Amino acid sequence: MNPAADKKSPLMPPDLDLTALSDRLVGIVTTNKTPRSWMYAMAFFIFLTMVYLFSISWVFKTGVGLFGLNIPVAWEFPIASCIWWIGIAHAGTLISGVLLLTRQNWRPAIARFAEAMAMFAIIFAGAYPLIHLGRPWFFYWLMPYPNTQGLWPNWKSPLIWDFFAITSYLLYTTCFLYLDLLPDFGTMRDRAKHRISRIFYGIMALGWRNSAKHWARFDRANMILAAISAPIVVSVTGTISLDLAVTIVPGYHFTIFPAYFVAGALYSGFATVIVIAVPFRKMFGLEDLITPRHIDYIAKVMLGFVLVVDYSYMCEIWTAFYSGAPYYYGVYHNRWFEYYAPVYWTTYFLNIVVPQAMWFKGVRRSVAAMFVIALIADLGMWMERYFIVVTSTNRDYMPSAWLAKLPTGWDFAVLLGSIGGFCMLMLLFIRVLPLISLHDMRKLIIRKKGNVETTE
Amino acid sequence: MSERGRYGLMAAFADADTLVEASRAAHKKGYRKMDAYTPMPIEGLGELLGCGEREKAKVSWLALAGGVFGGCCAYALQYTSTTLGWYFLSGGKPANSWPDFIIITFEMTVLFATFGAVFGMFWLNGFPKLYHPVFNVERFSRASSDEFFLCIEDRDERFDIEKTREFLEQFKPIEIVEVPK
Amino acid sequence: MSVTDKSSGNIPGSINLATIRKKLAGTRGREYWKGLEQVAETPEFDEFLHAEFPRLAAMWDRKIDRRTLLKLMGGSVAFAAAGLAGCSRPIGVIVPYVNMPEGEIPGKPMYFATSLTLGGHARGVIAESYTGRPTFVEGNQEHPASLGAIDSYAQASVEQLYDPDRAQVATYRTIPGTWSAFIEQMGFQAAKMKASGGDGFAILTQSITSPSLLAEIRQVQKRFPKARWYRYQPVGREGVDAGAKLAFGERVNTVYHFDKADVIVSLDADFLGLMPGHLAYARQFADGRRQKPGKPIKMNRLYVIAGTPTITGASADHVLPVPSAKIDAVARSLAARLGIGAAGGTTEAQAHWLDAVVEDLKKHYGRAVVVPGDVQPPAVHALAHAINARLGAVGGTVTYTEPLEPDGAGSLKDLTDAIDHNEINRLLVLGGNPVYDAPADLDFAGHYARVEERIYWSHYPNETAYMSYWHVPAAHELESWGDALAYDGTVSLTQPLIAPLYHGHSAYEVLRVVSGANADTDYDVVRGYWRQHYRRYASNGEAFDAFWKRSVQRGLIDNSALPAKTPHLRDDLASRLPQPLFRQRRGLYLQFRPDDSIFDGRFANSAWLQELPRRLTKITWDNVVMLSPRTAERLGIDNKELVVLGYHGREVTGPAWIMPGQPDNAVTVQLGYGRKRAGRLGTGVGFDVYPLRRADAMWFDDGLTLMKTGKRVFLATTQYHQTMEGRGLLRTATLDHFRDHPHWVDEGYPGKPPKLHESLYPEPAEKPPLEYRWAMNIDLSTCIGCEACVIACQAENNIQSVGKEEVLAGHEMHWLRIDRYYSGNMEDPETYFQPVPCMQCENAPCEYVCPVEASVHAEGLNAQVYNRCIGTRDCSQNCPYKVRRFNWFRYQTGRPTSTPVAAENPDVSVRQRGIMEKCTYCIQRINEAKIAADKTDRRIPDGMVETACQRACPTQAISFGDLNTSHSKINQVKDSPLDYEMLAEINTRPRTSYLGGLTNPNPALAKKDKNA
């Protein structure tokens, strides 16, 4: 491995050997004494999950009018949140994919739960558009299936593209996560205490037995999926941005959207990795495995992406005024001075000013500071999605139809609920499976010894 | 020695280097039907143990096939259902508005490539295969965490219980066991 | 999400008029704005905040018992369950069809000519009936007062017919009784009365023009010589009669002929909005403004001296805002300039204005007319008669006939006086609602309570009903026989389309029963009357049956219009005029006006009318206190702030509304709100102003005081944002500008759609090539903003009302909306209306975004497939015209605002919760015509398909037809140089286009020309 890294503070304790590694990480799952903090957190998030389920049931029962929607603002919280969640998912994919290709040795410690994060995020992202339907019980009309009317979905509709993008993204992530888990299922099988869990892990491991042949093909498959990760990340958020970009609505109709959305997605995604990593390392005493250096690396990536986002902001404004269309001036007049201006300016503060703190090593290395910045980043990106979705249609072509709208309690209930559900699944995950990839970490250890070459 | 017959002879090593050394030697000695079990992938082992580049390439080919299949099906579905199927004039766009069809085509390509890779790998590795003789070795459970195993199989024509045992002994394994079928 | 209120002033969303002035001063060229909220660019934050949170609160603390909660939790776990709970379809009401009446084809509508009255004056309508169920009324082309058009009141009669809150059974002291019991008791008392010659018996009616009913009343008076007849109409026309008496010494009925007029001066007259015959007047007026292809460019000119803004003022070329009370003085000055009487006091701005007007009037001798408003005092009417005589209008633009209502009825004041003298012990109230709408100073309720025997006949168990002994439910006009006179005296017949739904009975029956005569049915009475009197109108020697059949069939009696007569104008009129009013003003002027939507309160329980945006304010479900911007500024009163109106010791509180074009120091309030017993919908809507009304000042008076409270309320207006932002959506110019620049509609506005080769795609190739290409055009010069089209659309297309709360939330459902723009200054702005239906774009942005092909192009129309829609709402997001409406909740049934199921149009599907809907160009009518045409294997002839809005429009501003039919009306209209498409530059290719609006200002008053 690159000698430079050795001079820096180590990414893992030097005395950590294979046995200790397995004991520690598997121990987190197999131990009988769950951390109290986990218990409390779980209780709280289960409550939020119930809030989520209750409110969407009530919306299904009563009508989507419960949300802060009207004509012209026929989309708001749910769509904004959908885009936001998808964005969060992307970081997980990118970490386990692109960082794998580029042999980043800070990847293994965070890849696993990042990947899990991705999967759960997609689930909640995908749920939003369905919750948001006027007649959710007909959601399956979005799928192409042979029917008596010979009707197929309208392939020209960006919403159909979405449907396909999100679905395939979910399946892809599931495959990737499962693939990565396969060897660790083997480990769990071999170390599980109870017969039940042994059977469970055994079945999940599909008879994985660490054979060199397995590893060879496993590596190849892993590489292919990693290679796929980049295009899928770009295409999924890109597609979702097309929901807006292919319309003729001033404020939506910007060609820069796909790139812009992807950058924002990754920014918020990496932030979320920090938001999750920090409490977990505390909860399970993994400070030596997920070190400030990891946080530092993530911070650098965040900084990179947020700069792209900020550039896109300026670029968008320039496009609007360069277009010479009064409707586009209107959009910015609206965003700057009208009803939603506070949202807009807050967003700009959160996404342009605050992130600059990450130029400083001290900030990047300070876990606490980065935790706060990460939270702010998530909030900022959410608000950005919100004002993009709302401030464009609330004042588009016909002034007579212009109307603004505040979100209702149901909007917040569903949003917080989805966050709660997401956290609950994460907590569940780390009690069932190792939250750090065992085989990836073993590779690091072996590589430290430096005689044999492990594969990526 | 069980009546079920023997699957092979297995040696457990403490570290990867010895295993690699042993495998290389075994390969030089002409053993072919053998397999190594390691907690993590180790570069070059595959080649020694008969899972070389050609073998791995199969996974790639399957991925490619999946991708091509997915893409073609996706476009074909969109094209036929709009042109041959019920024609809708929508937004003044023609039936075959190819720019609109690209995205779904792309997504499907990617998705099926993924399937090709993953399920191809399963298939080539013969998953799911919940029973395998090596699991009979009680120590073998450590193969998934911190020990390295080399198993020379009975069906190898150069396999001879005594000679092979001697061969393995020279690498100072932690233990050598016979793996019953 | 942080949103703060950033409005000026301490009260959220308040308006700083100084800034507004500055803004307007700063504006150059023709800039439109809408309502002051806008000009001040005050955000509506708190509006929505509060609009939201009550609703939310309601949602949150909606009681959920354990069981429901568990159910929901269960449902939550399996979404499907919850989903299913949501998708339960509404249960329709079905009626078995046992034996088929002759000539009845189920599913095929039958049409009957009948007539509906408002204030006693008839408008002829054609009622559509499905298997004996009236569902829709439209104008009767052959009826002189309707000419095929209809107003919102008549349109809503169908909803009123099925209103479940109508009185359903005869009650005695509010306890359900029976009709037979009523007959019995009445017969008994009638016998007693006979002895006394009807002493102490009185009848109180509203305005009645019905010959047969009047004959009945005369019968009663004959039978009981001492019986008395009183008449009261809250929206009465006493001034008109008194004015005629003053001018001619006799009562006359004045009929105007605006088609013959080149210059029209309105003295506070809303002849396009509310005067008897307004539909006919609107048509005549519009014909004088419409530019006909190939004809020379000319149009009439309208001056309005307006006590308060009306749609008549909005259509005017020049408006002079003057408090109604001061119009007397202005009228005198106008007359004096024509050599009649002495001038009243006018400011010199008014004087300059009047000079120009008089010049114009003189120039058009014989083709000019002056129209006094119903609310004006006798003097103004008398002067108007004199001026018209002087202008040579009589016999041309004005004709006189015998009065429509006979004399001989006492006023309400006479009645209360009689009660004071204990001369009345038995009172039959025939219609109306005097306990609610009588002038407060008469204290009718108090007097009524003192009458021993109180009998009441009306549609609703309303305020009066609760004070009456006997209350007999009235049969609706669509349920009974009758007759009435139109504004020109034409006898219009009413025939029932359906048997009374709620044991209703006609006025005839009640009158007969009460007077102890044999209770003949209304049919016998009306028919019997005409059997005696038909000869006058029958072609010589025609048998009665033939005559009757013919007349009932056509809904009117041919050439029964009253003949013109020329009453002799008094020579000493000038000397007979009373002293000018209000030399010195005390306090502010208080002005009453009937409401645009619910008139005098009689339509208070109609969801359609309550939700119909008021013509100029665009407010729904409320009435307001209208103030001029200057007055508001002077008193420091803020828009939507609650103010206390003090007048003669009485106080009423209502929200202020700063009304551009409202004369200074004049405060206008609308009648008909604040009902206490109107029904589930009308009760408690708005605030009641009748307590301020006095018998001696029915329409206006001074001495009003205004007190601000600092509390602001929420008014559900359907337009929030308020400037055109310089976008060329509504385009207008002056006639002269049009002469010089025939193609002005395209000059200086965003351009034409892009060229074909600029698109990545080939042109839309419809397969097979379209047989029809339907298109619409709306003429902005003749649209008067009466909103008849909006409610006609609602009635035709089963559009649901949603209630104030939902309108506040921006959930209103009208497919067709009328945008209102102002231009110019706030004191007397120009007002323009722009109806906006679906544009039926050929490159429809709403279509390609729909994932399930619910919004597709079919037959060249932009169709919305309801049962395919899953409600993603992307179509609305992408609709640049924002004409799509969404069913946010289950509006169609189970809510008080839901349209009665029986009133729904069976040709149009009723939309379920969660789907998008929009204007379809009345595709059901198109298909009906297509089927008819296919039978004969011909194309649909031009003009055979009329959309509901087009049919309702009094001014025929809307044209509709097929572009593939050469020389079709629509093609001719679209060839006009005035034709333009809204937002053409974004390449949506709208099928709906507009004719640029033209105004014809007087060069002498040229300040109005904004094109300079």
Q: What is the pLDDT of residues C285-307, one digit of tens each?
A: 999 999 887 788 889 999 999 99
Alpha helices in chain B (DSSP H): 16-29, 45-48, 53-83, 98-125, 161-169
**What does the mean pLDDT of chain B come to?**
89
CB contact under 8 A, B90 and C848: yes
CB C627 within 8 A of CB C637: yes
Q: CA A125 to CA A21: how far, in whole Å?
A: 34
Name chain A contacts of B124, Cβ cutoff 8 Å.
217
Binned at pLDDT 50, 70 and 90, residue B5 comes out as confident
**What 3-state DSSP class applies to C4?**
coil
Nearest-5° Cα angle at C855, C850 to C858: 140
Q: What count of other Cβ atoms lies within 10 Å of the Cβ of residue A61?
A: 19
Name chain C contacts of A243, Cβ cutoff 8 Å.
874
What number of C-beta contacts closer than 8 Å exist between A and C? Answer: 247
Binned at pLDDT 50, 70 and 90, residue C64 comes out as very low
Which residues 65-94 on chain B approach chain A with CB closer than 8 angstroms? 77-78, 81-82, 85-86, 88, 90-91, 93
B43 touches chain A (CB under 8 A): yes
Which residue of chain C has the CA closest to B82? C853
Give the predicted TM-score (pTM) of the model.
0.88
CA atoms within 13 A on the CB side of C560: 29
- Considering only the beta carbons, identify the residue of A155, A175, A215 that sits closest to B114: A175
Name chain A contacts of C3, Cβ cutoff 8 Å.
339-340, 342-343, 406
CB contact under 8 A, B117 and A206: no
CB contact under 8 A, C761 and B97: yes
Binned at pLDDT 50, 70 and 90, residue C419 comes out as very high
Q: CA C439 to CA C699: how far, in whole Å?
A: 11
Alpha helices in A31-157 (DSSP H): 36-62, 77-101, 107-131
Name chain A contacts of B123, Cβ cutoff 8 Å.
none
CB contact under 8 A, A218 and B114: no
Residue C637 has pLDDT above 70, yes or no: yes
**Got the DSSP string for C925-987?**
HHHHHHHHHHHTT-PPPTTS---HHHHH-TT--EEEEETTSTT-HHHHHHHSTTEE-TTGGGT
What's the pLDDT at C774? 92
Residue C618 has pLDDT above 70, yes or no: yes
Name chain A contacts of C48, Cβ cutoff 8 Å.
404-406
Chains that touch A (3 or more CB pairs under 8 A): B, C
What's the pLDDT at C44? 43
ipTM of this predicted structure: 0.89
CB contact under 8 A, B118 and A209: no
- Considering only the beta carbons, identify the residue of A153, A393, A398 that sits closest to C851: A153
Binned at pLDDT 50, 70 and 90, residue C79 comes out as very low
Interface of C with B (CB under 8 A): 760-767, 842-850, 853, 855-858, 989
CB contact under 8 A, A17 and B146: yes
One-letter amino acid of C66: R
Q: CA B101 to CA B77: how far, in whole Å?
A: 10
CB contact under 8 A, A54 and C872: no
**What 3-state DSSP class applies to C454?**
strand
CB contact under 8 A, C914 and A141: no
In tens, the pLDDT along A123-151 reads 999 999 999 999 999 999 999 988 888 88
- Considering only the beta carbons, identify the residue of C767, C842, C853 that sits closest to B92: C842
In tens, the pLDDT along A334-346 reads 899 988 999 999 9
CB contact under 8 A, C836 and A400: yes
CB contact under 8 A, B93 and C842: no
Return the exposure string of C452-465: e unless at least 16 CB atoms fall within 10 Å of the residue's CB, then b.
ebbbbbbbbbbbbb
Q: Does C15 or C328 have the greater pLDDT score?
A: C328
- Considering only the beta carbons, identify the residue of A228, A231, A442 that sits closest to B40: A442
Binned at pLDDT 50, 70 and 90, residue C192 comes out as confident
In tens, the pLDDT along C524-536 reads 899 999 999 988 8
For residue C798, the 8-state DSSP code is T
Name chain B contacts of C849, Cβ cutoff 8 Å.
91
- Considering only the beta carbons, identify the residue of A60, A159, A393 that sits closest to C79: A60
Binned at pLDDT 50, 70 and 90, residue A14 comes out as confident
- Considering only the beta carbons, identify the residue of A209, A211, A216 that sits closest to B56: A216
- Considering only the beta carbons, identify the residue of B88, B91, B99 that sits closest to C760: B99
- Mean pLDDT over residues C409-417, rounded? 92
Q: CA A49 to CA A57: how far, in whole Å?
A: 12
- Mean pLDDT over residues C177-187, rounded? 89
Which residue of chain B has the CA closest to A151? B86
In tens, the pLDDT along C478-509 reads 999 999 999 999 999 999 888 888 888 999 99
> What is the least distance, in Å, from the CA of C761 to any CA of chain B?
7
> What is the least distance, in Å, from the CA of C235 to any CA of chain B?
51
In tens, the pLDDT along C145-165 reads 999 999 999 999 999 999 999
Q: Does C1004 or C793 have the greater pLDDT score?
A: C793
CB contact under 8 A, C853 and B92: no
Closest among C492, C453, C497 to C478, alpha carbons compared? C497
Give the 3-state secondary structure percentages of chain B, helix then strand then coil, rounded to 5: 55, 15, 30
CB contact under 8 A, C721 and A154: no
Q: CA C966 to CA C945: how far, in whole Å?
A: 16
- Considering only the beta carbons, identify the residue of A62, A135, A340 that sits closest to C870: A135
CB contact under 8 A, A213 and B55: yes
* Interface test mutation site (partner A, options B80, B145, B147, max chain A beta carbons within 10 A): B145
CB contact under 8 A, A404 and C44: yes
Residues of chain C above pLDDT 90, percent? 57
Q: CA A273 to CA A106: how far, in whole Å?
A: 13
In tens, the pLDDT along B117-151 reads 999 999 999 889 888 888 888 888 888 888 899 99
In tens, the pLDDT along C530-563 reads 999 988 888 778 889 889 988 898 999 988 999 9
CB C955 within 8 A of CB C283: yes
Name chain B contacts of C761, Cβ cutoff 8 Å.
92-94, 97
* Interface test mutation site (partner C, options B78, B84, B86, B89, max chain C beta carbons within 10 A): B89
Of C97-106, C717-726, C999-1008, give the lowest mean pLDDT range: C97-106
Which residue of chain B has the CA closest to A211? B37
A348 touches chain C (CB under 8 A): no
CB contact under 8 A, C2 and A399: no
In tens, the pLDDT along C716-741 reads 998 876 667 778 888 999 999 999 98
> What is the least distance, in Å, from the CA of B75 to any CA of chain C?
17
A62 touches chain C (CB under 8 A): yes
Q: CA A92 to CA A273: how far, in whole Å?
A: 8
Closest among C433, C465, C464, C509 to C171, alpha carbons compared? C465
Q: CA B65 to CA B68: how far, in whole Å?
A: 5
Q: CA C659 to CA C639: how far, in whole Å?
A: 9
Nearby residues of C184 by Cβ (< 8 Å), 6 or more positions away: none
Q: CA C653 to CA A270: how far, in whole Å?
A: 58
> What is the least distance, in Å, from the CA of A236 to any CA of chain B?
8
